[in-house]
Structure 1
Amino acid sequence: MAGHTDNEIVIEAPMDLVWDMTNDIGSWTKLFSEYSESTVLGERDGTIVFRLALHPDENGKVWSWVSARTPDAATRTVRSQRIETGSFKYMWIFWEYLEVEGGVRMRWVQDFEMKPQAPVGDEAMRERLDRNTPVQMRLIKDRIERVARGAGVPG
């Protein structure tokens, strides 16, 4: 059995701003609240390889991984997958941006499977992602809309 999530939010800002800010991996520690590190490791043929690290968990452990991300500005889509999978057998993420009345609909579809020895199973991870993804999307929405209004991104 595999896990699947599908979340979206409308950001009241121009497409180019939404696209540029959400694809600037080096600034993700200011865009997302969960990341303590977002480091681009390299780029080849339009695919960006990068490391993400979370803030320490309740036991002081810092979870980190390497992913590859391929944005396609022509279709306003991004395909990403974990290279260092950790507890995941695989994790694929599809980002889609669509201009709608009032802004840009940003959608994230996550498909994954947990390894048998992972601390949580597919359903528990799906529930965790479905709780956290909307939180992160609302933060991103707020931060991009602040920039769109000329207020800047909080430090």
Structure 2
Amino acid sequence: MTENRVEDSVLIAAPVHLTWDITNALEGWTGLFSECAKVEVLERDGETVRFRFTTHPHPDGAVHSWVATRTADVPAGVVVERRENTGPFAYMDITWTYVAEGDGTRLGWSQAFAIKAGVPHSVEGAAKALGARMSTELAHIKQHVEDAARSA
């Protein structure tokens, strides 16, 4: 099984601590992610959170939902997420990185994945769709965090 990776980042005009706090407050993800209709925290254990993410209906009416576990490494400025129910993916691992850059934060987002055998999705198509969604969501996150920074 070949690992595939899609990566992107955005420079947010807000300090790392504020960017970290907002993007790791799962209860606020309905405002942070344009596709998020609901987040349900299932359990917390220290810096690890297990949760269910549910999307708004897509144009075809489909609603997607998955359970994932996120673990924050505060000193390293890294959050690692692993989806439990992965749909067409054999696995989906997501890493967020937070790096101070000037007066702002470089928020990096990486998705490592493999497609399940026999699924009618190509790796190229999945990577293109994931990359497009990632870019859209990073722009939404940037706006949300910068708005909060201006209000603070």
Whether the TM-score (by the shorter chain) exceeds 0.5 is yes
Per the shorter chain, which TM-score range?
over 0.9
Q: What is the distance in 1 between the residues matched to 2:83 and 2:38?
A: 16
Paired residue total: 151
Q: TM-score, normalised by structure 1?
A: 0.92
Q: What is the distance in 1 between the residues matched to 2:56 and 2:118?
A: 23
Divergent runs of 4+, >4 A: none
Q: Is the 8 A contact 1:82 1:91 kept in 2?
A: yes
Q: Deviations over 1:31-74 (max 9, x none)?
A: 01011111111012421000001111233221110000001111
Number of the residue aligned with 1:69: 70
Query: What SS does structure 2 have at the residue aligned with 1:62?
Result: coil
Q: What is the distance in 1 between the residues matched to 2:99 and 2:32?
A: 20
Q: Deviations over 1:8-41 (max 9, x none)?
A: 0110001111000000111111101011111111
- Per the TM alignment, residue 136 of structure 1 is displaced from its structure 2 partner at its CA by 0.7
Residue 124 of structure 2 aligns to which amino acid in structure 1?
E
Q: Note the 1:1-155 alignment, pairs <5 A.
A: 1-150=2-151
Q: What is the distance in 2 between the residues matched to 1:33 and 1:118?
A: 27
Q: Is the 8 A contact 1:2 1:122 kept in 2?
A: no
Residue 77 of structure 1 aligns to which amino acid in structure 2?
V
Q: TM-score, normalised by structure 2?
A: 0.93
Query: What SS does structure 2 have at the residue aligned with 1:116?
Result: coil
- Per the TM alignment, residue 123 of structure 1 is displaced from its structure 2 partner at its CA by 1.4
The percentage of counterpart residues that share the same residue type is 36
Query: What SS does structure 2 have at the residue aligned with 1:149?
Result: helix
